[in-house]
């Protein structure tokens, strides 16, 4: 399943490092490449930065800029990169006095990093990681004022967010529904004619839980009670106008970081670490949806239960790591054999389930046989030996049945396959009641 928080396949993946100190440039480039998996292009001067932009322009996701270059001593390169190219930029400075900070933020850089700070490199890496991620993160700005929307969109674009706009509550609800998971965060003004922010937040929360959609309430009339009301209505966070540009970006970034962590935790909880397949928890969630679709569209629900044979003996003979390698190979074979829409899980130790729609008993038996013969043909190199394994497979297909019922029937068939001598497929349809 693709992760909406990671950038799409056409994402930009180069970072421009404009820095006249070769050692600093090399340190940054090395860490960006090894820790973020992005490519870097180094430029030691404004002229070289222009050449790099001409050559790689469309591939840059972000730039790291030194303010003082031999041919641009006063930050002129910021204008080239940020104003002309609209490239998200992090600026390296020697120090940060108030007037310099104001100038940098006004000129559109997303952040500044004091070079001598002990965590300077980490801050740059965290900034670039976020900008890269944000290519896949949609933020919906909801405000009846076009000027207010444009201001927020400009600030968010500095960090590479994909921005959507809505002038009112109804449009916002439609936009979130249509964009599906592409919109991950809503910035929502409280004071709007028609539907106010509080009502919009309540309506959004009826369909989208906080781990799926972040919401930040924004209002000019920030009173304690209003912020509490918006938070109680379901907002994750709250901003009172006027706010510093940095306060907005920090809150948005932190909220999106949190969504990302929740998503990661959710996906780890669903995933079996050895094979990368989903685990049983995922089966209960997704297979039930499949069963519902089957009942609605009058398609049979089929299940295939695959249990590797004599696995204890294999483990005892070749060791646990050899057993693990066989489990991984069997999981890969299953992944290659089932369709994308099928539900495939590692149900327990050496047992796998496939739940699929539209196969009758004969079709399910044919799928079971493809899996059985595929597993029998596997040869897994381990400790100088080719390991092999067989599987007993039970299949079942029910019209309008539940996931539990079809799996129970396929499981009984799998046990019958074991009893009949293993390495075979048995269909529940052939078992006596």
Ligand X SMILES: Nc1nc2c(ncn2[C@@H]2O[C@H](COP(=O)(O)OP(=O)(O)OP(=O)(O)O)[C@@H](O)[C@H]2O)c(=O)[nH]1
Binding site for ligand X (CB under 6 A): 274, 307-313, 315, 320, 323-324, 327, 349-350, 418, 422
Read off φ and ψ for residue 392, nearest 5 degrees: -100, 135
Which pair of structure tokens corresponds to residue 90? 């992090």
Nearer to ligand X, 8 or 319 (CB): 319
Nearer to ligand X, 22 or 281 (CB): 281
The helix (H) or strand (E) run that includes residue 426 is strand 425-427
171 three-class SS: helix
Q: How far is the CB of 389 from ligand X (least distance, A)?
A: 9
The helix (H) or strand (E) run that includes residue 346 is strand 343-348
Distance CA 327, CA 185 (A): 40
Which pair of structure tokens corresponds to residue 429? 């349809």
**Can you say whether the dihedral through the CA atoms of 262, 264, 269, 270 is positive or negative?**
positive
Nearer to ligand X, 22 or 312 (CB): 312
Q: How far is the CB of 390 from ligand X (least distance, A)?
A: 9
Nearer to ligand X, 208 or 352 (CB): 352
Residue 410, judged by CB atoms within 10 A of its CB (0-12, 13-18, 19+), counts as buried
Q: How far is the CB of 274 from ligand X (least distance, A)?
A: 5
Nearer to ligand X, 237 or 350 (CB): 350
Nearer to ligand X, 119 or 376 (CB): 376
Best CA proximity match to 142, nearest among 205, 183, 186:
186
Q: How far is the CB of 396 from ligand X (least distance, A)?
A: 19
Q: How far is the CB of 325 from ligand X (least distance, A)?
A: 8
Q: How far is the CB of 364 from ligand X (least distance, A)?
A: 21
**Can you say whether the dihedral through the CA atoms of 171, 177, 182, 184 is positive or negative?**
positive
């Amino acid at each position: 399943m693709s992760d909406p928080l990671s950038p799409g396949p056409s994402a930009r993946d180069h970072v421009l490092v404009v820095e006249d100190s070769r050692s600093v440039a090399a340190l940054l480039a090395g860490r960006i490449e090894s820790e973020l998996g992005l490519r870097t292009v180094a430029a030691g001067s404004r002229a070289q930065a222009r050449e790099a932009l001409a050559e790689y322009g469309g591939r840059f996701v972000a730039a790291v800029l030194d303010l003082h270059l031999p041919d641009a001593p006063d930050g002129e390169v910021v204008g080239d990169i940020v104003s002309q190219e609209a490239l998200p930029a992090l600026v390296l400075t020697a120090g940060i006095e108030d007037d310099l900070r104001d100038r940098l933020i006004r000129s559109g850089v997303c952040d500044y990093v004091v070079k001598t700070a002990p965590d300077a490199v980490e801050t740059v890496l965290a900034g670039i990681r976020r900008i890269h991620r944000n290519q896949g993160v949609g933020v919906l700005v909801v405000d009846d004022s076009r000027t207010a929307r444009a201001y927020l969109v400009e600030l968010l674009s500095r960090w590479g967010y994909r921005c959507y706009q809505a002038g009112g509550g109804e449009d916002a609800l439609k936009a979130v529904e249509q964009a599906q998971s592409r919109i991950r965060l809503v910035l929502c003004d409280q004071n709007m004619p028609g539907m106010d922010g509080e009502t919009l937040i309540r309506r959004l929360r009826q369909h989208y839980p906080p781990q799926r959609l972040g919401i930040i309430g924004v209002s000019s009339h920030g009173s304690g009670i209003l912020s509490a009301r918006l938070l109680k209505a379901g907002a994750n966070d709250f901003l009172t106008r006027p706010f510093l540009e940095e306060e907005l970006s920090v809150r948005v970034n932190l909220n999106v970081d949190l969504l990302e962590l929740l998503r990661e935790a959710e996906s780890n909880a669903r995933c079996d670490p050895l094979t990368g397949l989903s685990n049983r928890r995922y089966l209960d969630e997704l297979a039930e949806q499949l069963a519902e679709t089957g009942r609605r569209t009058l398609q049979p629900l089929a299940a295939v239960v695959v249990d590797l044979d004599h696995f204890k003996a294999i483990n005892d003979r070749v060791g646990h790591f050899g057993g693990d390698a066989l489990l991984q190979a069997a999981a890969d074979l299953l992944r290659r054999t089932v369709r994308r829409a099928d539900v495939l899980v590692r149900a327990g130790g050496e047992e796998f389930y496939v739940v699929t729609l539209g196969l009758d008993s004969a079709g399910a038996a044919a799928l079971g046989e493809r899996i059985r013969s595929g597993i029998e043909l596997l040869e897994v190199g381990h400790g100088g030996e080719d390991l092999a394994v067989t599987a007993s497979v039970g299949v079942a297909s029910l019209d309008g049945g539940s996931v539990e019922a079809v799996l129970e029937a396929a499981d009984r068939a799998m046990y019958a396959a074991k009893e009949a001598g293993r390495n075979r497929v048995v269909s529940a349809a052939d078992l006596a009641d």
